[in-house]
Each structure stands twice: as C-alpha cells, then as structure tokens.
Chains A and B, each alone.
Chain A
Amino acid sequence: MPKDVSVEELKAKAKELRLNILKTAKSAGSGHFGGSLSSADIFTALYFKYLHVDSEKPAMPERDKFVLSKGHAALAYVPCLAMKGFVPMESLESFNHYESAYGMHPDAGKISGCDASTGSLGHGLSIGVGMALGDRYQNLDTKVVVLMGDGEQNEGSIWEAAMAASHFQLNNLIAIVDRNQFSIDGNTEEIMSLEPLDKKYEAFGFKVIRCNGNDLAELDKALAEAWGEKEKPVCIIARTKKGFGVKRFQGAVEWHYGAMDVEMYKEALADIEAL
C-alpha cells in the first residue's frame, strides 16, 4: 500500500536525489545525466511513497519488485537506493571506480535492493512479466514496476513482453516509459518514430495513463491510479525533459552522457538548489 507522503515532501526528496546524482557523477568522472535527471521524479515517487520495500529485508518475497529496464539510469537508481538505506551513502563515491559495486548499469548481485541486473536495452519488461507471473502464482499481493526508456521502445523484445503482459492479464504489472524524447543519436521521432506510443500500448491491451513525469503532483495521481487498477497491466507514459533541473543539460541530446568540469558542476548544483 502506498505510504501517506505529501507532494511537497516528495519534491524535497526529488531535489535531494538530483543533488546526489550530481555528486555521484562528480566522483564517477562522468555519467548518464540526461536520462537520470529526467527520471529522478519517477524514482522519488516510487521509492518514497509507492513501493513496499524494506532495506532491512531487501529480499523479502512480499516486497514490490522494481526493474530498471533503462539500466543506464543507474546514476539515479543507486543514489535513490542509498537514500532509502539499501546501500551506504558514502559508498556512492566509488561509482564507476575499479571493482566498485556500481557502474553505469546496475548489478543485482552487488547492490542490495536491486531486483534485476540490466543495461542491455529491451530486457526489463520480460523480466517484469516473469516476476508478475511468479508473484501471482505464489499468491503474493505485490506490484511489479518496470521503468523503461523511450529509446528502448525500438527493441522488438519489449513488444513480445507487452503482448504477454496482457495475454496473462497481469494486473499487478506497471510499466512506466520515461518519455524524454531522446535516444543517443537524437530525437526519437527522427531516429525511429514511436508515436502514437499511447495507442500502441492500448492496442497491446494496457491501461494507458499519460502524465508529466517531472511534475510530482501529476506523477502521484498517475501512480495512485495505476496502483488501483484491477483488470489490466498499466503503462504510464511519463513525459519528461532530458536532464531536467539543470539548464545546461535540459533537452540537450549531447548530455545523454558526459563529464562536467568544476564550473559546470557548481552551476548544476545551483540550478537544482533553485528548483
């Protein structure tokens, strides 16, 4: 069951997460800024209100499951897990370093609270379908949430999984698309157009909810609706801005991945503080 957390509290947590993303990227040397900052509000709403998880019991069977299909957002995911107490906050300094538990893509074998190792795009929804089937077979009243990127919607395996989700009537599965409009080479509609993405998921049997994924009030409403769905798998198409919160990164395809110098770092921190 979702916790009683206000939108204002979530906004404060989202700001803290964005600051932690920047700090982590600084120790890491570089990072996937665009897709991590775009999805920071989604991580915040899930981990601070909706997901039933416990850092003391990271493997408890009755936990809600989370799969980061867009594994390159580990730069947001791992700091979020640190803020929830799954991994030590100071361990974030090792991100990308030699023999670190944390690299650009998450390793479930090394990160407490991480349910799936991901990184190669298009895998997460199938894993989520399996988890949803497994929990249902074991009579566990849980939700399985899969956070996908929009670029990976090009992968055929996503649609194999989408077909299966509705075929198996997985009302415990919630897919979220971080619709930030960009993949590595440019705008998704120029590289390989996805629209109308909502109609595609509807045609595949999902209940589709659209929202502004960088507006926590809207996200909260969308997730509440998703959590209450009893019939179908849900797909939340969360419109976001790549690099949201840092003016230099926002909507800038070249900041999908990059490295900041000291000045840029200071400027980025100031931008987030001003949010």
Chain B
Amino acid sequence: MGKDAGTVWTVHDANKMTSKEIYGRVLADLGERNDKIVGLTADLAKSTNIGIFGDKFPERMFNVGVAEQNLFGIAAGLAATGLIPFASTFATFASLRAAEQVRTDIAYQNLPVKIIATHSGLSFGTAGTTHHATEDLAVMRALANMTVVVPADGWETAKAVRACIDIPGPFYMRVGRGFEPPLHENEDFAFEIGTAITVKEGSDITVITCGIPVLQARDAARELEDDGISVRVINMHTIKPIDREIIVQAVLETRRIVTVEEHNIIGGLGDAVASVIAESGKACAFTKVGIPDEYSVIGFPEDLYARYKLDSTGIAETIRELLGKEIEADEDWTDED
C-alpha cells in the first residue's frame, strides 16, 4: 500500500488493472471525500470507466448522450457554479469534436474542468483511424491555461487524478484503453505535475518520452547497456507546463536527444522539447519518434507500436541511429553556462 490514503485495492490488483479502470476507482474514492466533484460523460461511462464513479454517486453523474460539444459546455457551466467536473470521453472526441467548447467555454474562462480522455494515441488501434488520438496533445498544448498530462501507467494515473484537483484551472489527461504493464512497481514514488521523472540515468544520449512508450524506452536503455551505451530515460509525464530544466540539463550532459510519443510528430511532446532546446541556444543531435505526418493504419496496438518504432526494438534502433550522427565538436561547449 502506498502513501496516498484512500486506495482501496491491493498492489497486486493494480498491476492487473487498466489505467482507465484505476482512474474510475480513484475518482470514486475522491468523490467520497469531496462532494464538489461531479462526473460527466457522453455515452461512454463504461468505456472510459467514469461509470465506476457514477455507480457510486448517481446523483452527481451526468451522462449527456452522444453529444460531445454539449458535454464540455455543460462541464463549464457546472464549474461556473463552484463544482469540480471530471469529464470523460475518447481523446479524439475531446480534442477535436469539442475543441471549441474546450477552448472557449473551459480554457478561456479558466474553469477547473478536468478532462480525462481515454483511448489515447493508438491504443484503440483496431477501431480505425477515426478513433486514434494523434493530435490531442497539439490541440491541448496550444490552449492557454491548460495543463496537459500523459501518465506512463496506472500508478501515475492515480497520482495525477488526485493532484489535478489542486490545479485551479483546466486539466487534460490522456490515458490508454487496454492493459499495459506498469512502469512503477507500486505508488511509492514522487509525482508532481510539471516535474519530469528520470527513469534511468545515462550519459551518451537521452530519450524523452511520455505515456505507454516510457516503459519501452527503459527496456531499450537496459538492452543497450550491454553494448556499453549509456542511455538516459526521462518520463515527461507533464507536457505543459514542461520541465525545461531537465531538458536543458540533458542537452548539456548528453548532447543527443530522442523524443518518443504516441502522437503525430507535429505539435506534441517532440515539438515541446524542440522549442526548449532551440531557446536554450545549445545545439544537439535531435530526432522525434511518433506517427509521421500521416494517418495511422489499422491494427492491434502492439503491431502499431512496432510499426511506428514506439516499442523497445524501435526505440533502440533510433538511439543507435542518432548516436551515429555527427555533431559539431566544441570542446568548451559544456562550460558555457
């Protein structure tokens, strides 16, 4: 059992639950202690697991039917009366179908609506491209006032759901659909929104990643260790506000950066990291791994992760490629600061 009171399942259970199921359970726990929490969904109570909260608190769960624009407009109205609404639907609908309601009704008004969007990235692979969410981070990052989080596993999901209550404004988090092995063994680790986690130290190259690929990057780093390659892995669970310090430090200390994300390579984590690097004035070898600027193909998630090099094999391959890239030598480079 971890440090956060109120978790009613065992560690053994949590290692078998999907992140969205953990979300539903944590929210149901929080609901007991905070009667300002209300839940909303658009006919996806079961699929997003916010229904676990709804089963416990039917009087404060609002299912608006298949109407995502209305979902987020209503959430804004509820927040304007002093409540803390958690609104859940699939990530692609939250970020695209209802983008203007999220922007104008919620983010512009800086209302504390917590958008927990499931079926992130390629996690609903066989549903087809309409149900892949590969633009949501770009949309949400561009909204002023919005905090954007991508947890690496169920444990981080639980911590982020608890932490987001204290954020006074809007919050967007994407979680997957199915079961993925957890990155952490239990919830005994520090998790603070806006502060990245160094999963593994390393000095030759840094992988900055978020969500499901974090575990894959760690596995790739461990494999490469046998070949004498020292890979640092950073779990950038908060895309906005991004942890600038840890990025600049990685640039200074490893001079080679790979970003890995389950998102179009335009507008997501990779671009957020690239901006920090460019503004630091320190050049480095850099590459972004994600969905190239195209619509992702249909398939099981694990096959799609392999295709887009988001699995450990693909990440290791990219690391080797970037290590082979020549960069401008400058002996005094690390002393400039």
CB contacts (< 8 Å) of A134 on chain B: these are: 38, 77-83
Q: Which residue of B lies closest to A168 (CB)?
A: B62
CB contacts (< 8 Å) of A161 on chain B: these are: 70, 73-74
Which residue, of B78, B81, B101, B104, has the highest number of chain A Cβ atoms within 10 A? B81
Contact with A along B158-198 (1 / 0, CB 8 A): 00000000000000000000000000000000000000000
A126, B101: Cβ atoms closer than 8 Å: yes
* Interface set, chain A 118-147, CB cutoff 8 A to B: 118-120, 122-123, 125-135, 137-138, 140
User: In whole angstroms, how far apart are the Cα atoms of A115 and B105 in the complex?
Assistant: 11
CB contacts (< 8 Å) of A126 on chain B: these are: 69-70, 72-74, 76-77, 101, 105
CB contacts (< 8 Å) of A85 on chain B: these are: none
CB contacts (< 8 Å) of B79 on chain A: these are: 130, 134
B70, A164: Cβ atoms closer than 8 Å: yes
A: interface residue count bin: 35 or more
CB contacts (< 8 Å) of B109 on chain A: these are: 108-109, 116-117
The one of B73, B77, B81, B82 that contacts A157, using a Cβ cutoff of 8 Å: B73
The one of A118, A137, A157 that contacts B70, using a Cβ cutoff of 8 Å: A157
Asked whether any CB of chain B lies closer than 8 Å to the CB of A2, the reply is: no
CB contacts (< 8 Å) of A123 on chain B: these are: 73, 100-101, 104-105
Asked whether any CB of chain A lies closer than 8 Å to the CB of B337, the reply is: no
* Interface set, chain B 85-127, CB cutoff 8 A to A: 85, 100-101, 104-105, 108-110
B: interface residue count bin: 20 to 34
- The answer to whether residues A129 and B73 also contact, given A61-B82, A115-B80, A134-B81 and a CB cut-off of 8 A, is yes
A127, B105: Cβ atoms closer than 8 Å: yes
CB contacts (< 8 Å) of B139 on chain A: these are: none
B65, A127: Cβ atoms closer than 8 Å: no
A133, B77: Cβ atoms closer than 8 Å: yes
Asked whether any CB of chain A lies closer than 8 Å to the CB of B52, the reply is: no
The one of A67, A115, A130 that contacts B78, using a Cβ cutoff of 8 Å: A130
Q: Which residue of B lies closest to A124 (CB)?
A: B73
A19 CB to closest chain B CB, in angstroms? Answer: 31
Contact with A along B41-83 (1 / 0, CB 8 A): 0000000000000000001101011010110111111111111
B110, A61: Cβ atoms closer than 8 Å: no
A160, B80: Cβ atoms closer than 8 Å: no
B286 CB to closest chain A CB, in angstroms? Answer: 38
Q: Which residues of A contact B (CB under 8 A)?
A: 61, 65, 67, 108-109, 115-120, 122-123, 125-135, 137-138, 140, 156-157, 160-161, 163-164, 167-168
Q: Rank and list the top 3 A-B pairs by shortest CB-CB distance, nearest first.
A: A130-B77, A126-B73, A134-B81
